[in-house]
Structure 1
Amino acid sequence: MTQPPPRTRDNVAAALPDDTARAWFDEALADAACAAPAPPAASSPYPARTWELWFAAAGRYCGHGNADDVRTLLLVEARAGLETLTRLYRHGSAAERRPVLRALPALVEGSLAVHLVEDALRSNDTRLISAAVGSYAAAHLDPHAWRHAVLKCLFTGVPVDAVASLAQRAAGDGELARMLTDYAAERTAAGREVPDDLGRVLTLTGEEPKEL
């Protein structure tokens, strides 16, 4: 079952800075809603005269603080398929990759887009990692990859609150508990602080933190 986007059209429109931005937003969504698939031009990852041009320009017209939500809604409204999502992710900046990751639960059934999540988790961009560990990752990453995603959050300082279904997936996970304990020991031996979130996750596994 797919899931709705994180914010509604009305929520996003209300956050836009002025009527000009809201008019741009309405027109972009209308174009996305009636979009027809088109092959990309040879010189650009974006097919000319389609909603993807709006996708690329969202930060300029709606403000960079609103761009993630605007782009996510454009993807959902256009019913972007896996091929389009993969292309936009591969050719996009980090700011354009985040909404692709956020839109996955609403657009992709099954684990076909796991490769995009795994790619984001290989980066050190904390906002990209935060977008990658949402509900799509919770539903489709295998246990090994999911455990390493949790550790990546701890390593890069991404709050574990970003990890969807953390309590459910961590519960009773002895291997995750071992990995966390080993990571804490390594940090302590190197004279480094152990992230506060580590003890919280360890408790979720059913293990009690011991002088981390």
Structure 2
Amino acid sequence: MTSEPSNQTDSLLAALGQDWLADARASVAAKPGSVTRHFAAAGRRAGRAPLPDAPGWSADEAARAVLLAALPAEEVAGQAADLYRYGDADEKRAVLKALPMLPVGAEAVPLLLDAIRTNDTRLVAAALGPYARHLDQTMWRQAVLKCVFMGVPLAAVDRLEERADAELAGMLAAFAEERTAAGRDVPADATALLDRLTSEKEA
């Protein structure tokens, strides 16, 4: 595991400051199968309040991410897939947010694709975090457009300014034309992105 994910795990641990998690991590490291029990209990044990010292994370999400990071490297991808597949919406979101911290390479891309197919705005937003670097450009554009359609703020999309391109601009322009023709508003952040991409193309 790289130092950056390790540092993020340390930051989440510090932000949580909960003693029970040390025992749970040790249990997961020694007996990977125990992660299912601890993962399910995290909402009750950690609570669900936002963490002031870890913006964007709730306590249960952070605890679940720490538990996943405690797994032996060879167990992570399989356990993460199972926890996502059988988890509720909060557990699925925690898995998606934890992926950039885990040594899974591109193995977890199917989890992103599943999340993007849902109508759960929280899952779609989580799927477009830093791990979305593993999505190919075609799928990434479609996911960004779905965010616009669902009203997910584009601020949730990691590396948006870097990856947005002329083809995405064309998709946004077609979307905006349809919305305007139907007398519906276009989200302000989508309009701003389209204006920027159009200006760059003209320049």
Shorter chain as denominator, the TM-score bin is 0.7 to 0.9
Which protein has the bigger helix share? 2
Q: Specify which of 121, 129, 132 is matched with residue 127 of structure 2.
A: 132
Counterpart check, 1:56 vs 2:22:
no
Q: Specify which of 147, 167, 185 is matched with residue 175 of structure 1.
A: 167
Report the CA distance between 1:71 and its aligned residue: 0.5
Amino acid at match of 1:76: A
Higher alpha-carbon deviation: 175-184 or 23-32: 23-32
Q: What pairs with 1:74-153 in structure 2 (closer than 5 Å)?
A: 74-79=67-72, 80-137=75-132, 139-153=133-147
Report the CA distance between 1:26 and its aligned residue: 2.7
Normalised TM-score (structure 1): 0.80
> CA separation of 1:54/1:37 partners in 2, compared to 1, >3 Å: closer, same or farther?
closer
CA distance in 2, matches of 1:63, 1:106: 21
Contact 2:69 2:101 in 1 (8 A): yes
Extract unaligned runs of 5+ from structure 1: 14-21, 39-49
Partner of 1:18: none
Report the CA distance between 1:60 and its aligned residue: 0.9
Report the CA distance between 1:109 and its aligned residue: 4.1
Extract unaligned runs of 5+ from structure 2: 50-58
Contact 1:35 1:51 in 2 (8 A): no
Q: Secondary structure at the match of 1:27?
A: helix
Q: Secondary structure at the match of 2:198?
A: coil
Partner of 1:8: 12
Counterpart check, 1:25 vs 2:29:
no
Corresponding residue pairs, total: 185
Contact 1:81 1:108 in 2 (8 A): yes
Q: Deviations over 1:19-76 (max 9, x none)?
A: xxx23223222322x33344xxxxxxxxxxx132111011111112311111111111
Partner of 2:53: none
Cα RMSD for the two superposed structures: 2.0
Report the CA distance between 1:199 and its aligned residue: 1.7
Amino acid at match of 1:26: A
Contact 2:145 2:172 in 1 (8 A): yes
Report the CA distance between 1:136 and its aligned residue: 0.8
Amino acid at match of 1:60: R
Identity between Structure 1 and Structure 2 (%)? 46
> CA separation of 1:111/1:198 partners in 2, compared to 1, >3 Å: closer, same or farther?
same
Q: Deviations over 1:152-189 (max 9, x none)?
A: 1111111111111111101xx11100000000011111
CA distance in 2, matches of 1:195, 1:186: 13
Amino acid at match of 2:64: R
Counterpart check, 1:202 vs 2:194:
yes
CA distance in 2, matches of 1:37, 1:25: 15
Report the CA distance between 1:10 and its aligned residue: 0.4
> CA separation of 1:37/1:59 partners in 2, compared to 1, >3 Å: closer, same or farther?
closer
